[in-house]
Amino acid sequence: MHRRNPPPPNEWIVRAVRQTVDGPLRHLRGRAELENAQMLLRADEIDFNDDTGDAEARGRVFFQNFERNERIWADRIVYNTHSETGKFYNVRGSARPRIDARPGLLTSTEPYYFQGEWAERLGEKYVLHNGFLTNCKMPRPWWRLKGPKFDIIPEDRAIAYHSVFIVRKFPLFYTPFFYKSLERVPRRSGILTPNIGNSSTRGKMLGIGYFWAINRSYDATYQVQDFTARGFAHHIDVRGKPKARTDFDAIFFGVQDKGLQLSNGDRIKQGGFSIYATAKADLGDGFQARGVLNYLSSLTFRQAFTESFNEAVFAEVHSVGFINKNWSYYTFNVVLDRLENFQDATPGNSVLIRRLPEFRLSSRDRQITDKFPVWFSLDTSGGLLDRSQPLFQTRQFTPRLDFRPTITTAIRWKQISLIPSFSIQETHYGESQKNGQIISQNITRSAREFHVDLILPSLARTFNQKTWLGDKLKHVIEPRASYHYVGGIDNFDRIIRFDELDLLSNTSEAEISLTNRLYAKRNDQVFEVLSWQLTQARYFDPTFGGALQPGQRNVIASTIGLTPYTFLDGVPRGTSPVVSIIRASPRPGFGVEWRADYDPLRGEVVDSGLNADFHFSRYFISAGHNQVHTGQVLSPSANQFRGSLGFGNDNRRGWNAAFVTIYDYRQGRMQYAITQVTYNTDCCGFSVQYRRFSFGTRNENQFRLAFAVANIGSFGTMKKQERLF
């Protein structure tokens, strides 16, 4: 604690209305005070021995330790200033908390209060007898931890024996031994708080866990949960930091499933496991290593036991690890990659693509000579890849080599810029395909690529009239055009698809776009309040060099950069859909984006995605709608609504509530819904959450509860990642 003009070290300041001295004894009466650099003792009466350091204070006693930021009130204190030991009778005290603010943790600036019949200080340790601890406002605290004995070492740990946790006057739970770390980085082995809950399909849920602080660099957490209707779930988390710039975190989750019971008495087993791990390391000499391991035993397991709707409907599992070094104009990577895309929940019906490993070397644009505006860049790679899926399997592993140098220049005249580039791409494959079957025949793809961007001058007009949008408005029109040519690929149907590199096809196309932007000036700051971008491509080679296959979904490099929705069903076409993107943010806290694809061949908007967000004070609303009806050949139809609304946040005092839902119009049912209501006091919070899942074979209701204590943590069945706030 910072103090102004503290006493010099080893010097006492003595104050009192009356003072008598008898050798080393001082008898202080009336507003008596003893103060040195470390502490202050104030009372109606104080007897102090200068030689032994013994002090006895009586009547409205106040004790403060400036170094530890401790403040104690008592009726009587017997204390030795040399050994810093003593006893406090009818004691009351407080200590400022260490606030470790992080998402999901309720925080408070209220100090910790303690009260007891008597307490003693033994060196660095305090022992409180027949008392309680809280961090709520007194004298009517929301919660108290009450017990016959508390053993506390400030900034180290606190232990309560045979204590009862009381909310208002209701005893919530009893524990024979309760440990709370007070360290700056708390790490102590021990049993975690048990949790309970209920699910309409899993039955009663009871869980408990153990945290093992192996040493200062490693720890592990094991949690087991009993689903009375399904079986046991296991969660293991191992973390480590072997060196200063090296760390890892590995999580295993698995369920021993007895099976989902059907109406006829049969059971469908949906158990399995997942592994998720991240790691990073500094290898020295500029080399960095990063990695993410993501493995899933089956899509059925994820859909049955995940608590995240987005994860449940996401059918892709991606693991990647790489070693990287950047220097000068160059970047070097060694990549190991595993991508599994589940087609549906049927066992074995997935597409698996791996690269073990692939080496990549690239250089960014570098000007060849200062005399001419010509830049050179390079992308090259080589590695071993394989792809497996039902009725399709490459050998382990198929070599692939790719070499792509590019020359770029820029021609500028007034406000017009023309940026052409030319590249040669040679790609060699150790295998190829024919009529959908793998054949052991090498193949080389040779492509010649030309691209030019035309950037025309923007047209702008300023309106000085003041409106609700701002003090001034500015309208800007940005026209853009580009031409792209790829030739020399006469074997597109024989190329095995591993990634986007293999989607290159012959093309001759032009793309034009027109963007309208509206800017508003408010208090010398400029904001973009509205933009509307229209883009369309014209294809001079409607078959893309014969790459289009009739009656199926065709994905090629020419389309994936234009729109995320596929539109090539094998029918040759000269134009793409018109891609429209509207973004509006007229006022702070409000934003809208609508992306739609209008297909002139079908004469309708085939894909549409609308998102809107509104934040004002403590209120928030978000809504989204996604619709796809391009035909079953291209992609399954979709018509879904997503919405959320609420008020408050995780730290707001009083009532807070939020609701999130996802509704499928085609199926006519709410696939996911979650409602959370929280009430926060000055020191604790109560949360109730209802969750609804309805997709696939999952039709489940869940109720979850949580009780949060400010600056300490949360107890109950609601995990941090599952909270709405």
**Nearest C-alpha neighbor of 443 from the set 453, 451, 432, 434:** 432
Is the Cβ–Cβ distance between 245 and 233 less than 8 Å? no
Whole-number pLDDT of residue 366 = 92
* Alpha carbons 355 and 646: distance in angstroms, whole number: 45
For residue 25, is it within any domain? yes
| Residue ranges of the chain whose pLDDT lies below 70 | 1-3, 96-104, 154-155, 181-187, 632, 721
Query: Torsion-angle region of residue 371: left (phi > 0), alpha (psi -120 to 50) or beta?
Result: alpha
What are the backbone dihedrals phi and psi of residue 276, each rounded to the nearest 5 degrees, phi first? -135, 125
The pLDDT of residue 642 is 95
Sequence-distant (≥ 6) Cβ neighbours of residue 564 within 8 angstroms: none
Q: Is residue 717 part of a domain?
A: no
Q: Which two tokens stand for residue 312?
A: 């449940």
- Which H or E element spans position 309? helix 309-312
Residue 324 near residue 333, CB atoms below 8 Å: yes
Domain membership of residue 18 (yes or no) is yes
- Let me know if residue 21 belongs to a domain: yes
* Token duo for residue 315: 């059918």
Whole-structure pTM value: 0.80
| Token couple for 257 | 């499933």
Enumerate residues 6+ apart whose C-beta is below 8 A from 435. none
* Residues contacting residue 340 through CB under 8 Å, at least 6 positions apart: 296, 316, 317, 318, 350, 351, 352, 353
- Classify residue 230 as exposed, middle or buried by CB count within 10 Å of its CB (0-12, 13-18, 19+): buried
* Nearest in space to 136 (alpha carbons), one of 104, 158, 168, 105: 168
Report the distance separating Cα 694 and Cα 679, nearest Å: 28
Distance, CA of 521 to CA of 527 (rounded, Å): 6
pLDDT number for residue 155: 65
Q: From CA 303, how far away is CA 695, in angstroms rounded?
A: 8
The distance between the two most distant Cα atoms of the chain, rounded to a whole number of Å, is 112
Assigned domain for 155 exists: yes
Beta carbons of 146 and 168 less than 8 angstroms apart: no
In whole angstroms, what is the distance from residue 273 CA to residue 271 CA?
7
Average pLDDT score over the chain: 90
Q: What CA–CA distance (Å, rounded) separates 32 from 44?
A: 6
Q: Domain of 133?
A: 13-184
Task: State how many domains the chain has.
Answer: 1
Query: 22 lies in a domain?
Result: yes
Q: Which token pair is 413?
A: 């005249």
**CA atoms within a 13 Å half-sphere pointing along the CA-CB vector of 89:** 10
Structure tokens at 658: 């939020």
Pair of tokens at residue 274 = 């997942």
Q: Which pair of structure tokens corresponds to residue 306?
A: 């995940």
Instruction: Let me know if residue 293 belongs to a domain.
Output: no
Residue 266 falls inside a structural domain: no
* Dihedral (Cα; 283, 286, 287, 291), 10-degree rounding: 90
Instruction: For residue 449, give the nearest of 402, 397, 506 by alpha carbon.
Output: 506
For 686, counting Cβ atoms within 10 Å of its Cβ (0-12 exposed, 13-18 middle, 19+ buried), the class is: middle
Count other C-beta atoms under 10 Å from residue 46's C-beta. Answer: 25
CATH of residue 63's domain is: 2.60.450.10
Residues facing 223 on adjacent strands:
209, 235
User: How far is the CA of 714 from the CAs of 253, 287, 568, 690, in angstroms?
Assistant: 22, 41, 52, 18
